[in-house]
Amino acid sequence: MSLSHFEAAVLFALLTSIVLGIVTKKTDRERIRYAAYCFACFVGTLFGLGWLMYLGHR
């Protein structure tokens, strides 16, 4: 299997967010919200670092 950096990082973010949501919160609603929040943070950081590296290498 050959994934790009982006695909591998998104897969990692998705699976980690699910587990973090399950183990940290008490109600199902809170779990879903927290998992979505973690995933958004991961992907946001991914884009941020991507742009940072792109601009840093110009």
Partner 1 sequence: MDLLPAAVTLDILKKVMPADSIAPKEPTPPLKLWLPTVAAAWFIPGLGHFLLKRPIRAMLLCASVIVMFAAGLLMRGTFFEPQTGDLLNTVIYVGGFLGNLSSGLLYLVTVWFGYAQPDVAGHVHDYGTKFLVGAGLLNVLAMVDAYEIAIGKKE
Contact residues for partner 1 (CB under 8 A)?
Answer: 1-3, 5, 8, 11-12, 15-16, 18-20, 22-23, 26
- Of 5 and 58, the one with the shorter C-beta distance to partner 1 is 5
Tokens of 40: 């958004």
We find the least distance from the C-beta atom of residue 18 to partner 1, in angstroms, to be 5
Residues near 43 by Cβ (< 8 Å), separated by ≥ 6? 10, 13
Distance CA 32, CA 24 (A): 11
We find the least distance from the C-beta atom of residue 2 to partner 1, in angstroms, to be 5
